[in-house]
Structure 1
């Protein structure tokens, strides 16, 4: 089993093209704001002594806030986009989504050579039967961007995660590039659950209850088609 220090290759200084890609990633938030979607300000780093109130519907869940099973995802064309923010460095959040010891706490472990173009084995540890699946590393730009794809009986999955840090706060933008929107009522709640499980794992809290997400959130996502 090969485990790479930063999840998928040696750390490197971003090229001009990579910097341009990051600016494009920031355009997702701009597109949501332009469409009239309310977006919360980036939280300031500070010590917390108690839980804040749950985030309002449509607002990203933030690490350090009590999770509320309220839908946050948005359809932008055929892209399903979800955002979570963390009071942590971009390197630390990157490790949460790439280090197999840490992904095991909210999605499942993986093994293999995670170089771009390679295929790794990922276990869906929180699904019935805990199956393993093959995932291809399409892009890997530590610690800012990861794109993977997979193929199963339901079709192709094209997933992208981008990280942006500002003032000690890192924003994770998760996007699934859908082939169509017919199944968004099932897919959307699933990713809400997994991203809140990531928040819970980082906070040392129990995983959320999937029954709070599906079918409760199905109508929310289907209404955006």
Structure 2
């Protein structure tokens, strides 16, 4: 998505085991292993969101969300499920309240050379969804740009937020 395109809200509310999630999908004309690498390998992640360091087999890694700023603070990401290349479940402390965790789920499925990435983030209420929803549309569009050879830098966050907040407020209302 370039700066001349108008982004659209793609996330939808879904209950999973009684918990509210925003769920997003993106498709890639690529094998599942390639999309898995784009979503999990530090040198691929850095192109669209950030990078990590550490040993994932320990159950956690350090992550820096550098898409906004090179000096992003370090976060600890806990890896709860890693079933490569189909499923990854992670969690971390929310930036606004370290006692509350965010949970993310990534599921991949390939059919005829097209891989669908389904990304879900737990959200507790409409207020949280107002920021999380536009943010993930933005980041996932940056991922698509990076993986299709476009420049993720042309994806402008200001086109997503606050323009898409009403959609996400209504999804959880």
Q: Is the TM value for this pair above 0.5?
A: yes
Which of 146, 152, 158 pairs up with 2:88? Answer: 146
* Residues 118 and 136, structure 1, Cα contact 8 Å, conserved in 2: yes
Q: Which runs of 5+ in 1 are unaligned?
A: 1-53, 55-65
1:170 counterpart = 2:123: no
> Which structure features the higher share of strand residues?
2
1:216 counterpart = 2:163: yes
Could you tell me which residue of structure 2 aligns to residue 126 of structure 1?
Answer: 67
Could you tell me which residue of structure 2 aligns to residue 90 of structure 1?
Answer: 32
Q: TM-score, length-normalised on structure 2?
A: 0.87
Q: Which runs of 5+ in 2 are unaligned?
A: none
- Report the Cα offset of residue 67 of structure 1: 6.3
Question: Which of these two proteins has the greater Rg computed from alpha carbons?
Answer: 1
- Report the Cα offset of residue 68 of structure 1: 4.5
Instruction: Tell me the alpha carbon deviations over residues 94-149 of structure 1, each in whole angstroms, 9 at most, x when there is no partner.
Output: 0001111000001111011112x611001100234422211000100000000100
Could you tell me which residue of structure 1 aligns to residue 9 of structure 2?
Answer: 71
- Report the Cα offset of residue 180 of structure 1: 3.2
- Report the Cα offset of residue 182 of structure 1: 2.7
Could you tell me which residue of structure 1 aligns to residue 78 of structure 2?
Answer: 136
Question: Structure 2 matches for 1:15-54, cutoff 5 A?
Answer: none
3-state secondary structure, aligned to 1:143: coil
Q: Distance in 2 between matches of 1:219 and 1:179?
A: 16
* Residues 67 and 196, structure 1, Cα contact 8 Å, conserved in 2: no
- Report the Cα offset of residue 168 of structure 1: 0.7
The count of corresponding residues between Structure 1 and Structure 2 is: 160
- Report the Cα offset of residue 70 of structure 1: 0.8
Q: Distance in 2 between matches of 1:130 and 1:74?
A: 28
Structure 1 vs Structure 2 CA RMSD: 1.7
Q: Distance in 2 between matches of 1:67 and 1:143?
A: 31
